[in-house]
A and B are shown apart, each in its own frame.
Chain A
Amino acid sequence: DVKVTQSSRYLVKRTGEKVFLECVQDMDHENMFWYRQDPGLGLRLIYFSYDVKMKEKGDIPEGYSVSREKKERFSLILESASTNQTSMYLCASSLEYTEAFFGQGTRLTVV
């Protein structure tokens, strides 16, 4: 079975903390994505990566950065967490022109 695994299901962090969300896929996919999901807004793309060390900004990159040092791992970094970053974060991976596979999601609360 293909698998995308996110490091945490639930996280509570304090305002100003640096937060790392990790995502690992075991399918040798080139493309990896970080989305956030908010009620009424659907999923919005934060960053994506199409190869190791390659990344592009999505629709809402402000306040976030990413790292992809190995093909299977894509990390999302909140440089200084703020309460408006409280959300559900979803990682996904895919090959070119194929279906996407999603992780189970991380519900992040910033207090």
Chain B
Amino acid sequence: KNEVEQSPQNLTAQEGEFITINCSYSVGISALHWLQQHPGGGIVSLFMLSSGKKKHGRLIATINIQEKHSSLHITASHPRDSAVYICAVSPSYGGATNKLIFGTGTLLAVQP
């Protein structure tokens, strides 16, 4: 079983819809990361959080440490949001080296 599980693996939405991507993990963590990867490869960090909730524009990330679960929400989705969204965790045992454990990603397609 993977230490970081994401769902769904694939998601198709219509423009304007509210989108939720879920991430569950099985290890103790110091932080959880949400990353975005557009076609072509480059990965961008969207959020790093260790508790509660963070918001940036139309994106919201939440984490429940007790339940070992995080969600990424996209409000008023747009075709430019189409990308792979990756959940990753910084395990507590990794210390300061910041080695990440990654989920396999969620491929989001937002249709106009």
Contacts and interface: CB of A to CB of B under 8 A. Distances in A.
Interface in B36-79: 40-45, 48
Contact of B97 (A41, A50, A90): A50
A57 to B, nearest CB: 11
A98 B102 contact: no
A107 B39 CA distance: 12
A42 B40 contact: no
B40 A100 contact: no
Interface residues of A, number: 29
Given A31-B98, A96-B98, A99-B33, A105 B42 contact: yes
B98 A42 contact: no
Contacts, number: 63
Contacts of B86: 42-43
A95 B35 CA distance: 17
A25 B48 CA distance: 20
Q: Which of A9, A88, A102 has the most CB of B within 10 A?
A: A102
B43 A102 contact: yes
A33 interface: yes
Contact of A100 (B30, B98, B103): B98
Given A97-B90, A97-B96, A102 B102 contact: no
29 contacts: A33-B99, A42-B86, A42-B102, A42-B103, A42-B104, A42-B105, A43-B88, A43-B102, A48-B97, A48-B99, A50-B96, A50-B97, A88-B41, A92-B43, A95-B98, A96-B97, A97-B30, A97-B90, A99-B33, A99-B45, A100-B100, A101-B45, A102-B43, A102-B44, A103-B42, A104-B40, A104-B42, A105-B43, A107-B41
